[in-house]
Amino acid sequence: MPELKRVVITGVGALTPIGNTAQAFGRALRTGVSGAGPITRFDATKFKTRFACEIKGFEPLDFFERTEVRKYDPFTQYALVAADEAIRHAGLDFAGLNRNRIGVIWGSGVGGLGTLQEQLLEFAAGDGTPRFNPFLGTKMLVNIAAGLISIRYGLRGLNFAVVSACATSTTALIEAFNYLRWGQADVLIAGGSEAAINAVGVGSYNALRALSTRNDDPTTASRPFDETRDGFVVGEGAGALVLEEYEHARRRGATILAEVVGGGMAADAYHLTGTHPEGEGATLSMQAALDDAGLQAAQIDYLNAHATSTGLGDASELQAIGRVFGPRPQLHISATKSMTGHLLGAAGAVEAIACVQAVQDDVVPPTINTTRPGAEFAHLQLTLGRAAYRPVTYAMSNSFGFGGHTATLIVRKYAGQ
């Protein structure tokens, strides 16, 4: 078997509820900004949950022609904007590269849900005559974001979409990592995007009793590990990373931000929406990532927990952490969803960017809003309230999704060799 190649990260791009660029996102993380507020995307006055973590100040016409806006669902618009930032950040000049070996792996949990809702409501309100938008089919498709990124830049390498619910974009990053180290590509743009703040999205999560209903105080509603947590806060946005084969990055003089060293995926095989109470799938994916990287658990400095602020979900992840890292784990843990909300299929990529920034700058972002950690979390080294500046060589990111999907990614500080 050929020797596996090294894989590095050379560019990042983010469009989030707390910052519309990766740099702005990083600044907001360190200062503990909440992205939550009243829903403006639709009239939510009759919904159990009337707040979310929306993107602020995003104007599609600043990035796209009017005809493109009509063709692209918001989740695709977000994908294109984040990918463009990551590509520019990586300094990729495609004219001088082999585009046959550059590709895209992109995912979304629900794709063009808003477009589908809009079109069905218009049809139901009409006389039964089908007058659908000719782009309805393509606007809905989860794979269309990957396709449009490749079309925009003429990238002819491998190209496909990933869907594993809220583990989606971490799965996409692991897939990109694997294809690159197997030598089947030189550069891959990977990540995820989501635009599910609409009546169907919020209503369906309310029906599952998954969302916080803290309507009187939305900015503190996402409170992972807190004994008063009552559900997640839905978010929207995109995260994009440029993953590149190490020697390829070196040859073109790229600035290397971090190195991807391990990835693991597994399944709870337990319940449609609930996580295994002992964190079976999470345990397996974390251990698989450690084994893949050739690391011991004690070498991980920082864990960006999946921690969505649900009662059972946070508790099951705790069980998994204990099984992998021991009864009193020494790693530093934070839950950045306390600030961004839960970006569903885009969460993993955005949180991977937080991990890249952590190893670059030796900073652990905080968990905000958590003022009364449950007694079961008392032994964890939770970074609460404000960022902690300490050495971070290895950072791990967890993502779990409905259906029992679990995915874990590990990145390492790049030391210049």
Whether 34 and 137 map to the same domain: the answer is yes
Band of pLDDT at residue 1, cut at 50, 70 and 90: low
**Helix, strand, coil tally for the chain in percent (to 5):** 40, 20, 40
Whether 314 and 407 map to the same domain: the answer is yes
pTM of the model: 0.97
Whether 196 and 166 map to the same domain: the answer is yes
Residue 74 sits in which domain range?
8-251
Does the active-site annotation cover 53? Answer: no
Tell me the CATH number at 111.
3.40.47.10
Q: pLDDT tens digits for 186-236? A: 999 999 999 999 999 999 999 999 999 999 999 999 999 999 999 999 999
Band of pLDDT at residue 327, cut at 50, 70 and 90: confident
User: Would residue 256 count as lying in a domain?
Assistant: no
Domain boundary among 251, 283, 312: 251
Please name the residue ranges forming H helices in 227-293.
Answer: 246-251, 280-293
One of 29, 79, 92, 166 is an active-site residue; which one?
A: 166
Element (H, E) at 102: strand 102-107
Q: pLDDT tens digits for 234-287? A: 999 999 999 999 999 999 999 999 999 999 999 999 998 888 988 999 999 999
Whether 292 and 205 map to the same domain: the answer is no
Beta pairing, strands 363-364 & 381-382? unpaired
Residue 69 pLDDT: 96
Domain count, the chain: 2
Residue 155 scores a pLDDT above 90: yes
Whether 183 and 82 map to the same domain: the answer is yes
Please name the residue ranges forming H helices in 276-346.
Answer: 280-293, 311-325, 337-340
Whether 243 and 276 map to the same domain: the answer is no
User: Would residue 257 count as lying in a domain?
Assistant: no
Query: Long-range contacts made by residues 265-274, C-beta under 8 angstroms, separation at least 24?
Result: 265/167, 265/171, 265/174, 265/405, 265/406, 265/407, 265/408, 266/406, 267/403, 267/404, 267/405, 267/406, 268/400, 268/404, 268/406, 269/404, 270/404, 271/404, 272/402, 272/403, 273/208, 273/210, 273/402, 274/312
Whether 311 and 197 map to the same domain: the answer is no
Whether 295 and 400 map to the same domain: the answer is yes
Domain boundary among 228, 251, 274: 251
Whether 183 and 313 map to the same domain: the answer is no
Q: Which residue has the tokens 């649900």?
A: 310
Whether 235 and 371 map to the same domain: the answer is no
Domain boundary among 251, 272, 294: 251
Whether 289 and 313 map to the same domain: the answer is yes
Residue 144 scores a pLDDT above 80: yes
Band of pLDDT at residue 2, cut at 50, 70 and 90: confident
Q: How far apart are CA 337 and CA 304, in angstroms?
A: 9
